[in-house]
Amino acid sequence: MLKTAMCCSALAIVWAGAVQAEPLQVALVETLSGPQASTGLLYRTAVQYEIDRINAAGGFRGEPVKLVEYDSQGGPVGAADRVKAAIADGARVILQGSSSSVAGQISEDVRKFNLRNKGKEVLYLNLGGEALELTGDKCNFYTIRTSPNAAIRFQTLTRGMKEMGLMGDKVYSINQNYSWGVDVQSIIEANAPKVGYKVVGETLHEVNKIQDFSPYVAQIQQSGADTVLTGNWSNDLLLLMKAASDARLKVRFGTAFLDQPGNIGNAGPVAEGNVMSAPFNPELNDKTRAFAEDYKAKTGHYPAYVEPYGVFGMELFAAALKTLDGQPGPVSADQLVLAIEKTGIETPVGPLRVRAADHQAEMSMVLQEVSKDALYKVDGTDYGFRPLKVYSGADSADPVQTTCQMKRPG
Amino acid sequence: MEQIVFALLNGVIYGLLLFMVSAGLTLIFGMMGVLNFSHASFYMVGAYLAYTLQPLTGFWAAIVLAPLLVAGLGICVERFVLRRVHAFGHAHELLVTFGLSVVIAEVIKMFYGNFPVDYAVPSGLNFSAFALGGMEYPFYRLFMGGVALVMFAALYLMLTRTRVGIVVRAAIYRPRMVEALGHNVPLVFMSIFGIGAFLAGLAGAIAGAFYTTNPNMALELGVVVFVVVVVGGLGSMEGAMLASIVIGVMNSLAVGVNVSLADVLGRVGLGDWARDTGGVLSLQLSSLAATLPFFLMLLVLLVRPSGLLGEKE
């Protein structure tokens, strides 16, 4: 009896699949469990938020867009495996953002898959891997980065700090020893003469392995720096700031990822006056406030860290889908890429568009500092991020890297 | 000069923290032959419990109560989990404790979320102990070091100078004989496990406030702690102390050394070649600081597999 029932339901599923038009399948490949899951889970929240909006507005070609999640469990190896599974399951779009090393892997995998499977290409939307090579050396027609990159972050950060009088003369650069951190260090070096500061010391250290940053702080102290620029994220940023404050080191930190949840709560007064360059700040204008409130209503918290640009990247994708809506049949990755290149959107912060030449997004960047005067407090503290200056997309953009030789189809 | 003093002090105190956690691990291994993978999880639980208790009881009571609760947890783990698995051999014990560490990490995430909680040094303790050459040294670091030293002295005296210590040491070598003499060996083992967990919990409660209390702290420290225990010699308390200090100081000094293999090769005229080749040759020692303990472990395992102060097998 049971067997018959199962048989029937299986048949029913097959049959249902046969008559319905195939919905567009989008795969989120992120670290959703284990020690590195915190960032991956934020991307999931952001992506889910936007997919829900797409589907509430009628989906794509009469079908809801189907979001499937794959847990890559940390490194590039797991991600490569999950990407294969996602493609085999019928995903046409891969979403990922939490790590440059994983982004590099997925970009390569997608490039190779597309070479070997003409007519079945997939698109990789990089929501947050910010290493430069992804739109340089490794740039690829089917990979689109909707987040800022190391150059955009640190050009706006250094210029902005100088213009606001927050940049000292002596800068110490401390970064994580992998593609992202190395990029940041070279940009800090390259900008020194342009912006007008001197790099008095540099450190590259292992990623999220160091418990005790006091030896590094002693190095900073010794160099006589008054400003520390760092692309560090997560524990590497938090522990560095705490160690600096314990040694009563009087420096200002210029950062990229200070707004990761828990950072300000943990660092407390230590964080005050430190600066960050990021593509969003909730108190900028009415539209950013409305977005922050709507996001909170749907997800339970204000958008922070990777969430805002995760949502904006997906909004761009949604806008591109809309231009392709209304035609019958499945959509190809080529059509998607061309549509995204042509489509620009207006985010609450400003316009967001993707350059055709290297598929790097151009967006407004907000220079902001940790302050008690901020409208939106974070982590249950008195502190929040107060916007200091906004750079428009054109203003913050870096030139297309000469190493990018993109092969376009046809 | 001041830089060296600070580097040494930083290294020694970080080493003492490593010792607090590795002491329990090496104690448990020495006594029971169990390599406890979940040991660093006790460290994490200690930090989270102290964070939870702090608003209710104040900081001092929290850093006493939290380790006691962790000791209770450790005793339960020994009594209800490990003892059942013991009969199946070491591999099973290893797997059980490994599984336990995963479970603990996930439970912590369920209750406290994915991000660091704001457990911080109370403002009354947050002052600098002394200043040297324009650098101030935080009092809390000295406090952490002091606690570790007191702990080491207490443990050492207990094991070498008391009757309990004699029974414990005898139970390691000849459990059946000790049992025949009328001592309750399972109880001894359970207490040892409890003490080991207590030490880890204490380290967590104290260090969690200084560093960060986050769901990955067990993983971050756990690996180094294993290295300490292996380098010091499995089961050797003095070895763990020595290895902790060596690794702490090595870490701290290496950060300040900006030398690469290319610079060394430069002495024999191969510098330019090495710099052009790049890769490992141009990597600076300072960026390898956190990896050095693993090199040390490799070296010790090659030259002296039983560890610096471990007994010959």
Q: Answer yes or no: is the ipTM higher than 0.90.
A: no
CB A288 within 8 A of CB A281: yes
pLDDT class of A21 with cuts at 50, 70, 90: low
pLDDT class of A364 with cuts at 50, 70, 90: very high
Q: Is the pLDDT of residue A15 over 50?
A: no
CATH superfamily of the domain spanning A22-148+287-362:
Response regulator (3.40.50.2300)
Q: Please, what is the average pLDDT of chain B?
A: 87
* C-alpha dihedral (A71, A278, A347, A305), degrees to nearest 10: 30
A204, A239, A379: residue with CB nearest B287? A204
Q: How distant is the Cα of B243 from the closest Cα of chain A, in angstroms?
A: 17
A41, A211, A214: residue with CB nearest B221? A211
What average pLDDT does the segment B110-125 reach?
86
Q: Is the pLDDT of residue B276 over 90?
A: no
Q: Helix (H, G, I), strand (E, B), or coil: what is residue B41? A: helix
Best of B8, B10, B136, B245 to disrupt the A interface by mutation (most A CBs within 10 Å)? B10
Pick the CATH number of A151-278+364-396 from 3.40.50.1000, 3.40.50.2300, 1.10.3720.10, 3.30.9.10: 3.40.50.2300
Q: What integer pLDDT is reported at residue A3 of this predicted model?
A: 53
pLDDT class of B268 with cuts at 50, 70, 90: confident
User: Does A216 sit within 8 Å of B140, measured CB to CB?
Assistant: no
User: Does B6 sit within 8 Å of A218, measured CB to CB?
Assistant: yes
Helix (H) or strand (E) holding A220, with range, is helix A214-223
* C-alpha dihedral (A349, A355, A358, A360), degrees to nearest 10: 10
CB-based contact (8 Å) between A190 and chain B?
no
Q: What integer pLDDT is reported at residue B312 of this predicted model?
A: 55
* pLDDT tens, residue by residue, A279-299: 999 999 999 999 999 999 999
CB atoms under 10 Å from CB of B89, counted, come to: 9
Q: Please, what is the average pLDDT of chain A?
A: 89
Distance set, CA A249 to CA A218, A227, A242, B128 (Å)? 9, 10, 10, 12
**Partners of A352 in the β-ladder:** A345
**Partners of B284 in the β-ladder:** B260
User: Does B256 sit within 8 Å of A38, measured CB to CB?
Assistant: no
**Partners of A175 in the β-ladder:** A204
Q: How distant is the Cα of B265 from the closest Cα of chain A, in angstroms?
A: 22
C-alpha A197/C-alpha A192 separation (Å) is 5
Out of A19-28, A81-90, B218-227, B292-301, which region has the weakest mean confidence (pLDDT)?
A19-28
CATH architecture of B2-259: Orthogonal Bundle (1.10)
3-state helix vs strand vs coil in chain A, percent to 5: 45, 20, 35
Tokens of B164: 């309990």
User: Does B215 sit within 8 Å of A248, measured CB to CB?
Assistant: no
C-alpha B82/C-alpha A364 separation (Å) is 57
- Return the sign of the alpha-carbon dihedral for residues A176, A180, A182, A184: negative
Q: How distant is the Cα of A358 from the closest Cα of chain B, in angstroms?
A: 28
Give buried/exposed letters for A257-270 (b at 16+ CB in 10 A, else e): bbbbbbbbbbbbeb
pLDDT above 90 coverage of chain B, percent: 42
Strand order in the sheet with A66-71: A66-71, A25-30, A93-96, A123-126, A143-145
E strand residue ranges, A159-274: 170-176, 198-205, 227-230, 252-255
Q: How distant is the Cα of B177 from the closest Cα of chain A, in angstroms?
A: 44
CB A80 within 8 A of CB A116: no
Look up the pTM and report it: 0.85
Q: Residues with Cβ < 8 Å from A150, sequence gap 6 or more?
A: A130, A131, A132, A180, A183, A184, A187, A231
**8-state DSSP, B7:** H
pLDDT class of B279 with cuts at 50, 70, 90: low
Q: Is the pLDDT of residue A381 over 50?
A: yes
C-alpha A154/C-alpha A174 separation (Å) is 13
